[in-house]
Every structure is written in C-alpha cells, then in structure tokens.
Amino acid sequence: MVTIEQKLSLFSKLLQQDIKAEIGEKIEGMEKEYAQIMSEHKRKVDKDADDIIENARKKGEIKRLELMSKAKMQTKKQTMLTKEKYIGVFMEHLKARVVAFKATPEYKKFLENSMSKLDDLRSYDTDFVLYMTKEDQAQYGEYVLTQLEATGISRDKFTPAVKEDSMIGGIILDSPLKNLRIDLSIATLIDDHRDEIVEMLFQAIGEVGGLDE
C-alpha cells in the first residue's frame, strides 16, 4: 500500500520532471530564437559592412578617377603650353629667317610673283593705298609701282604708304572707297599657313622624340 508520503514524493518528482522539461523546452526555444535573431543581425551587419566597404571603394575609385582626370588635364595643359612655347619660338625664328630672305635677290622675285596675281586689279576701278614696310618702300617702291602699272593701271591710282614692320614684307593694297583690301604681306602668308607650319613642326619634333599629346 502506497502511503501519502510516497504519493507526495512521487508527485514531487513528476512535477520536477515536468518543470524541468518545460524549462528545457523554453530554453531550447529561446536558443533557437536567439540563434535566428543573431543570424539575422549578423546578416544585416555583414551587409552594412559590405555596403560601407563598397561605398568607400566607390568613393576611393571616384577619387582616384578624379585625381587621374585632374592629373591628365594638368599634363595636357602643360603639354599645350609647351607646344605654344615651341610654336612661338619657331614663328619668331621663321620671321627672322624671312627678314634674312629679304636681303637676297630672291625677295624681288617673291614680290614679282605676288603681283602676278593681280591681273584683274583694273576691274575694281578704284584708287588704292599701297602699303609696304619703310625698308621695302625705299628699296622696292618704284619697282612695285612699275610692275603694277604693267597690269594696265595708271600709277596715279596708287598712293604709297608705309605700314608698320608687323607685315614683315610683301604688299597690301587698300581701297577705302570700295572697302576692299588685298593682303599679300608675308605676315598674312605665314598666318594663312600657320596650321600647316605647326603640323610640319611637330611632325619633325615627333621624329626626334618630341612632345606627346
């Protein structure tokens, strides 16, 4: 026969087992929930970290590209400045060569060739101011008027005048009445062929290891 004490003892054991089982289930559930929360949190933290790293990388890449672009622009600017310097020096040298050329007999032939392009000058029916440099006016003024007269125009139609040395050489015919200018000066000839001159210059520089773009 089971006594009351034995029944109470058995009940107490069963109760303890039930409580233990219940607590165990709760702990297990809590552990699963915690693991899930931690997993989700870790995923979020990892994603945030990846985003931060990616943004930093992108910003770094953008900054790197910006620096590269800036450096490239600075290099290009410096190259252009250097090229302009080369062009300026070369043009001054070319003008000096032209001044030397004017002291040769070939310059008179150059003037003659320039005036050979004026066969239709008489069709304008106007007076002209004939510009030459002071030096050319003194040395070739009469010769030029004679050549112009040979085109069929009276020399009375031409008024000789001195132009500043910037024209270098050659002649300029100006008709204020007709608002007409025929520019056969050496300065204009050089300017008209500047691109070709520059191209030849930098082709030559390139052949000896000169400037890159």
Centre a 10 Å sphere on the Cβ of residue 21 and count the other Cβ atoms it contains: 10
**Six-digit token string for 36:** 């899930």
**pLDDT (average), residues 194-198:** 82
The reported pTM is 0.59
> What does the pLDDT look like over 58-82, one tens digit per residue?
666 666 667 667 767 777 777 777 7
pLDDT at 200: 76
Among 205, 166, 195, 167, smallest CA distance to 183 is for: 167
What is the spatial distance between Cα 2 and Cα 104, in angstroms, rounded to a whole number?
A: 147
Q: Is the pLDDT of residue 23 over 50?
A: no
pLDDT at 190: 87
**Which residue type sits at 101?**
F
- Mean pLDDT over each residue of the chain, to the nearest integer: 76
**Six-digit token string for 97:** 């060569």
pLDDT at 88: 78
> What does the pLDDT look like over 106-164, one tens digit per residue?
999 999 998 888 878 888 889 999 999 999 999 999 999 999 988 888 899 999 999 87
